[in-house]
Amino acid sequence: MSSGYDYDVFLSFRGPDTRSGITNFLYTRLLGARIHTFKDDEELRVGEEFGPELLTAISQSKIAIPIFSKGYASSKWCLNELVQMVECSKTRRQKIMPIFYDVSPAEVRHQIGSYEEAFLSHKEKFGANVSKWKAAFNHVANLNGWVNSKENRGEGELVEEIVEKVIDELKTAYLLVTDCLVGVENHVKEIDTMMCGDLEDIRILGIHGMGGVGKTTLAKIIYNQLLHHFEACCFLSNIRETSELKGMEGLQNQLISDVLKKKWANISNVEEGIKIIKERLCGKKVLLLLDDVDQMTYWDALIGKPAWFGLGSRIIITCRNRDIIDIPEVCYPYELMSLDFNQSLQLFCKLAFGRDYPFDEYVAFSTEVVKSTGGLPLALEAIGKLLRHRSKDVWDVILKKLKQVPLSEVKRKLKISYDTLDDWQKHIFLEIACLFAGFDQRIVLHSWKDSNLFPEEGLEVLQKFSLIKINEDNKLWMHDQLRSLGRDIVRRECDGEQKKKTQLGIHLEGLAVVIEMKGTKKVEALCRKFDAQLLYNFVNEEVERLSDLRYPEVRIFQDNWSSKDGGYGDSTCLLLSKIGICVCQLGRQFFLPSLQQ
């Protein structure tokens, strides 16, 4: 999936037919336009074997231009070049732009006339290769290109048209995608199945998921793979931020200009933009990528209804909110999830070490770092770059810090979704991050029943924004990076002053608040590791001092506390009240007397 190329254009031709004419004219004009062009020279060909340097040059070119002349098929080198072009168009997104020079597309497609004679001579000597050569001719002859005979126009006019088209194609070339890609192949295959369908229908793909999970990268890869099927394409990057700078009218103006391939006069208002899109783009087969759509107003103003565009159009949308793309029979949703551990380790090592696996002395460190990211590509990339070329001592310090505070780059990206929530939804998010991740949602909803937080609606919104999930066992799940974000938000709101904190999630701080008489009326919740000694010190007087304590909760984290040992296991939580402790496990409740005595 590398985006790097050595050449802009590769010219394939048979020297005796065109070298002194259109080929040299086109080559000179392309160089004059600062287009890096590889011109195959027959004089450099040695022996019968197809030169590896030609294979490399073709595969490292963005555009391939075969110049089909009457003698083109008689050259084994030209035939092999054409096969390589077709292969690269499928695997490296190469654009093929054929020129039919004094031959018709039908002659090339069906191998008649001089092409038939050439293949008859090849059949005896290269029988095994003939079928793939014919398939390559058939494929390329069906592509859009230029047909030119000596009678219909001069070579100068043709060359100028070709150069203009090449320049235009390079401007709308493939979107830049990082070389460090891991785990995208399966996603691409699944989406390819969803998007191929009937070539005459219009399909909209909606890629959704939490911030930093790689939605834009995946969308770019899909866009690049589809690009060569479309004449009209447009990529609207980071729509949410771009609209703040240029307004909705600016986005509409870019869409119209890119599709029509000419600068459009500034649009005065959104309604005018909608009218122009419907009228001018109607019937055009387009490929659109709308990145970071967070409001339905963008959908309405930019793509409205599928009927606005021509048959065969494909539209790709990335968003955080599932509601944006939840339109049955119109949009195909695809949720992008975090990487698994092995994929995460591979991506991290690519960025930190420039290889797919860690050095022996960094295995333990790398494992711990990868676990801390929860498979979030954005976090893996940021931390990998941060730790690159650093000593092990520095790794240890940075890792300790990351366990408490998420990287600013990661936090900024994740906080976008948090900022879109209303105050009630934000409160629910913070309480899950600090307290309730891993809890049965029925217990949590019961805790919120008198809170006026509208929890059922809040949980639904958080799920649609991929901020939480409710697992099959009915437990609330939140990504580790989002939990870190929530705790950091609470920490910052309290200005780092312990006496003002409303929630305490750190073990030692909670111990100081309750036992060392540092409590405050602002404390609402305690999230605690299990500590037998601590339970005996949590007596009524201490709890009563925390008058706003809504969730006096102690959570057991010890993995070795299994039920067969007489404990209640990881799924157990202890809710501490004035009269005793209620043990909740798998929906059952057991009451224990107060420990004051």
Distance (Å, whole) CA 494 – CA 529? 22
3-state secondary structure of 310: coil
Pick from 435, 456, 461: which is nearest to 445 by CA? 456
Element (H, E) at 332: strand 331-335
The long-range contacts involving 107-116, CB below 8 angstroms and separated by at least 24 positions, are: 108/68, 108/137, 108/140, 108/141, 109/137, 109/138, 109/141, 109/142, 111/73, 111/137, 113/70, 114/70, 114/71, 114/73, 114/74, 115/72, 115/73
Distance (Å, whole) CA 573 – CA 444? 11
Q: How far apart are the first and last CA of the chain?
A: 68
Could you identify the residue written with the tokens 């654009």? 95
Distance (Å, whole) CA 113 – CA 543? 96
Distance (Å, whole) CA 168 – CA 261? 8
Is there a catalytic annotation at residue 81? yes
Radius of gyration for the chain, computed over Cα atoms and rounded to the nearest angstrom: 32
Residue 488: how many other CB atoms lie within 10 Å: 16
Of residues 48, 49, 53, 81, which has the active-site annotation? 81
The first and second tokens of residue 382, run together, are 């940021």
Residues in contact with 429: Cβ distance below 8 Å, sequence separation at least 6, in sequence order? 418, 421, 462, 467, 468, 486
**257-270: burial string, b at 16+ Cβ within 10 Å, e else:** ebbeeeebeebeeb
The first and second tokens of residue 146, run together, are 């230029």
Q: How far is residue 74 from each of residues 16, 46, 78, 213, measured CA to CA in Å?
A: 11, 17, 8, 52
Distance (Å, whole) CA 349 – CA 18? 50
With beta carbons less than 8 A apart as the criterion, state whether 114 and 70 touch. yes
Distance (Å, whole) CA 389 – CA 470? 40
3-state secondary structure of 296: helix
Which are the catalytic amino acids? 81
